[in-house]
Amino acid sequence: MTSARIWSDPGAEEVALGVWRIPLVLPNDGLKAVNVYVLRDGDALTCVDGGWALDAARRALVDGLAEIGAGLGDIRRFLVTHLHRDHYSNALAVRREYGTRVLLGEGERRAIELVTGPSRIRFSHHYDRLDRMGAGGLADQLRARLAAAGGEVPEPLEMPDEWIGRGQRFEVGERTLEAIPTPGHTAGHVVFADHAAGVLFGGDHVLPHITPSIGFEPSPPALALRDYLGSLRMLLAMPDMLLLPAHGPAGTRVHARVDELLAHHGARLDEMAQALRPGWRTPYEVAQQIGWTRRHRQLDELDLFNQMLAVFETTLHLDLLVSQGTVVAKEADGVLEYGLVAGAGAATGPAARRGLPAR
């Protein structure tokens, strides 16, 4: 199904037979909204993702459900693709009020334990990571902004009612959804495939207009980008499907967009290797030398939060190059630096050399 409406406009839109998309507003966010997908099972509802726990988002969900003759109390369960608050926190809020079951990929367990445990990791630990990446000035700006806002507010994360396992199947009326782990955006990200209908609920793994951030979580895997690229290649090995993404309009084909994402990261790896000639560079210095977003903006043109994400992603690309033997890393005075392996060359060749598919 196709639609001429702006994807972030409020309301319920049927995007596949028996599947309604309800966009929920995000605060001060370039993503504009997050899609909650609603499926019927008799009088009960299953939702894929839950949105951010904001008054405006709750109203948008209530209004969208009313358009299809339902309410919050009709939601039996939330199948949540990953732990980021724009997907998870509103599901928890609805659970507190209605007892709705909330399910999350088992790969997110460690991250939630790190945030909610007795020695919990706080959001500000990301600023310490920036120091190690040579972005101390950026980290200081973020610390100052946090202090001006009155300090850190604990992340409202809770354990789910059930951890979703690899290949677990969920019956929703006549529809069957299979949970497929797709680590990368977070370690425990999952997508849900309706193989019979040829539909993929893609979460943030495959987005139609942007490349998802990689490894933004309490303690990301060292090679989160490798995990992400592997998860993309796994989707190419499956039959092509209609993409129902967490951000952006529905209707893209999965394989076409995955090809674009793989090509993008192959080009970024080459670009970052190029930025290492000559001499040693910190991740922050490399991030300053390359363009960001489709407009190829300079790093300091981004807001502080997105500058932080850019430096993190630069580090993950560099770490993948280290694992492939074309770049080496060292640490000096607590700061990471990277350099090209002698004879490796500045540009590292076509994407196929990255282990990416030649399609």
Average pLDDT over residues 224-231: 97
Which residues contact residue 353 at a Cβ distance below 8 angstroms, ignoring those fewer than 6 apart? none
What residues are paired with 336 via a beta bridge?
331
pLDDT higher than threshold 60 for residue 296: yes
Give the model's pLDDT for residue 284: 98
Query: Rounded mean pLDDT of 19-26?
Result: 97
For 41-64, what is the mean pLDDT? 96
pLDDT the model gives residue 120:
67
Q: Is the pLDDT of residue 169 over 80?
A: yes
Angle at the Cα of 75 from the Cα atoms of 174 and 254, rounded to 5 degrees: 55
Question: Is pLDDT of 348 > 80?
Answer: no
Whether the Cβ atoms of residue 155 and residue 169 lie closer than 8 Å to each other:
no
Residue where the block lists tokens 């909330």:
102
- With a cut of 60, say whether residue 86 has pLDDT above it: yes
**Rounded distance, CA 127 to CA 207, Å?**
27
Domain ranges, ordered by start, for the chain: 13-119+157-260, 268-354
In degrees and rounded to multiples of 5, residue 304 shows phi and psi of -60, -40
The Cα 76–Cα 54 span in angstroms is 21
Q: Which residues are CB-neighbours of 158 under 8 A, at least 6 positions away?
A: 92, 112, 116
CATH number of 268-354: 1.10.10.10
pLDDT at 219: 85
Average predicted confidence (pLDDT) for the chain: 91
Residue 180's CB is within 10 A of a number of other CB atoms, namely: 21
Please state whether the predicted TM-score (pTM) of the whole model is above 0.75. Answer: yes
| Across 122-150, average pLDDT | 90
CA distance 170 to 46: 10
Burial environment of residue 202 by CB neighbours within 10 A (0 to 12, 13 to 18, 19 or more): buried
- Of 125 and 250, the one with more pLDDT: 250
Residue 281, phi-psi category: left (phi > 0), alpha (psi -120 to 50), beta (remainder): beta
Mean pLDDT, range 156-179, rounded to an integer: 95
pLDDT given at position 31: 82
Confidence class for position 356, pLDDT limits 50, 70, 90:
very low
Predicted pLDDT of residue 350: 43
Q: Show Cβ contacts of residue 208 under 8 Å, excluding neighbours closer than 6 positions.
A: 243, 245, 248, 249, 251, 252, 257
Topology agreement, domain 13-119+157-260 and domain 268-354: no
Residue positions counted in the chain: 359
Structure-model confidence comparison of residues 349 and 153, the more confident one? 153
Residue 113 region by backbone torsions, left for phi larger than 0, else alpha for psi between -120 and 50, else beta: alpha
> With the C-alpha atoms ordered 225, 230, 231, 233, is the resulting torsion angle positive or negative?
positive
- Residue 346: pLDDT band with limits 50, 70, 90: very low
Whether residue 351 is predicted with pLDDT greater than 60 in this model: the reply is no
Identify which has the larger pLDDT, 153 or 126: 126
Q: How far is 265 from 355, CA to CA, in rounded Å? A: 11
Backbone angles phi, psi at 308, to 5 degrees: -60, -45
Give the torsion through C-alpha atoms of 250, 254, 257, 262, to 10 deg. 150
Superfamily the domain 13-119+157-260 falls into: Ribonuclease Z/Hydroxyacylglutathione hydrolase-like (3.60.15.10)
